[in-house]
Structure 1
């Protein structure tokens, strides 16, 4: 009888999936329309020009962000330009040759040097060599917090003592008290080097989110702490409710942003990852709809060598989970309960 009932439940679950999964594709872009790390409308032309060897659009873009104190945009564009230069840096070399003291060129050079050092087997030694490049970028733009975010990443890689890290942190927040990138770097440093337990990392992230205005990217900092905690595999020292609260805060942030927009895409991808870990299928499916075509390497590259494939698999898996929870004669709009995602 028990075996019969188990088989019956399995058959019913399969029937639900077959019936409802196609309906749950509504609002999701087709697999072949999903893009990985797609640039926004400002960065796209700069990357295209860089591919042709022209640095001018990148120079104008970063100069604009510096002049307008658009530090979050400046940080993200710097990271993307440096990532592109990892494989094609002729345009950057030409930029530096023409304008060796340009603060924007120096910033991209510093970010690129740190990224290359991180990829080296001799990471610590290579990172130490990048110190003067970071200092040059900071001196060239005294009000810019982005060089100090790079310095915080550098401190993590060189295992700098906590006192040195605190000095860098002070310089970073003096320039922008709520800069998201600096906070993420600080959180990662604390987590990586054991200067704070996971509970203390949550405390740091939650306090920063509390101090930030609604709609600020800093609202996603507790989500970053939750991801680091889940990735560590040590799931015994933080209450599950705390992870859910971090996700709830990020859901509110996502809901306030335009749907299918590349700017909040990384936060939404991270949010989906945490929602999957918590078995919150219905909310994860809603976030996949808000993501639209914008998959991001982070966080999927942390768990797979094929981040786009992992994103698509996760999206399909969520549809199956939600479909399996809808009554056989129910509708796809029925709110599903929480389950577990493996």
Structure 2
């Protein structure tokens, strides 16, 4: 389908690699020593302050991400702050009243508005009212790709056509050609449960990964396509070699980051799930070691109402599974059906 190519402009600018201080990991932590969606060292004190009603640290953190063009961290922190404001919003409303035109306020407010209506059966209609908020956030800082990631999510939820989505995508990658959040948003749009197919997902993900810097989280995009396929339960068969190649690429990416680093925790959790599904338990055990105490809701909340419990169950089963024969690559069938189509 020609519309797929509209989502695949050339990526022409290099991306900064993130570095993290190594943390020693002697062995897998005990069950009561793992944390679900633990905040990193920068956002944790901000959330504590917000719980006390103080928006100052949030304002300082997001201003710093703009100042240093740290768009990947900015994207994560905006989503985290919006999720917190959804449950406890007094601190945010005070911030919005004090600085109504601030780019950070506008962005968190737009993310919050989209999140509040996303789970409604009337999502497509309700999302229309959030469009002006996203536009205002995008205009407040023309360098920032994060409002465009939000616009991509908005377009998916409002059932926008491929041509309009392609225009948003081109605007996003002009600002940051390897921005992880924008690539994930595009992959979700192309998912078979939304507006595309498994073939389109893999084609897009593999091309993006080939063009991305070696340490970019975009390298793990094919693994997300593999997860969508393995949990879909329908559609044409994807060659097993393509699934294994996606896992191999993520294993290589994971090895570039220190053990027990919260930054790549989600891709390592995802790698554990996919590797287990592919019968590669030794590789899964290594990812479990590297993950350390950091459990992320995704992917476990897509297949269970108890994501932490599901992670611990998979971890225990991976520990008990005997090693494969030397040189043997397992070839499992398909199993879990995802609970949510929002991969």
How does the TM-score come out when normalised to structure 2? 0.86
Contact 1:223-1:250 at 8 Å conserved across structures: yes
Alignment CA distance shift 1:36-1:72 (3 Å): same
- SS of the aligned residue for 1:53 comes to coil
Matching residue of 2:74: 74
Asked whether 1:155 is paired with 2:155, we answer yes
Matching residue of 1:267: 267
TM-superposed deviation, 1:338: 3.8
Q: Distance in 1 between matches of 2:232 and 2:242?
A: 16
Partner deviation per Cα, 1:61-101 (whole Å, 9 max, x = no partner): 11111111111111011111111111111111010000000
Partner deviation per Cα, 1:291-328 (whole Å, 9 max, x = no partner): 00000000100001110111111101111113xx489x
Matching residue of 1:60: 60
Larger radius of gyration: 1
Q: Distance in 1 between matches of 2:30 and 2:83?
A: 27
Matching residue of 2:280: 280
Matching residue of 1:202: 202
Instruction: State which drifts further: 114-123 or 307-316.
Output: 114-123
Partner deviation per Cα, 1:228-270 (whole Å, 9 max, x = no partner): 1112113642101101000000000101101011110001011
TM-superposed deviation, 1:336: 8.9
- SS of the aligned residue for 2:142 comes to coil
Q: Distance in 1 between matches of 2:117 and 2:133?
A: 12
Alignment CA distance shift 1:148-1:192 (3 Å): farther
Q: Distance in 2 between matches of 1:194 and 1:56?
A: 39
Contact 1:282-1:336 at 8 Å conserved across structures: no
- SS of the aligned residue for 1:165 comes to helix
Matching residue of 1:303: 303
Asked whether 1:111 is paired with 2:111, we answer yes
- SS of the aligned residue for 1:130 comes to helix
Matching residue of 1:19: none
How does the TM-score come out when normalised to structure 1? 0.87
Instruction: State which drifts further: 303-312 or 196-205.
Output: 196-205
Matching residue of 2:340: none
Structure 2: which 5+ runs fail to align? 1-25, 336-343
Alignment CA distance shift 1:188-1:121 (3 Å): same
Within a 5 Å distance, the mapping from 1:64-103 to structure 2 comes to 64-103=64-103
More helix by share: 1
Contact 2:198-2:235 at 8 Å conserved across structures: no
Matching residue of 2:173: 173
Matching residue of 1:27: 27
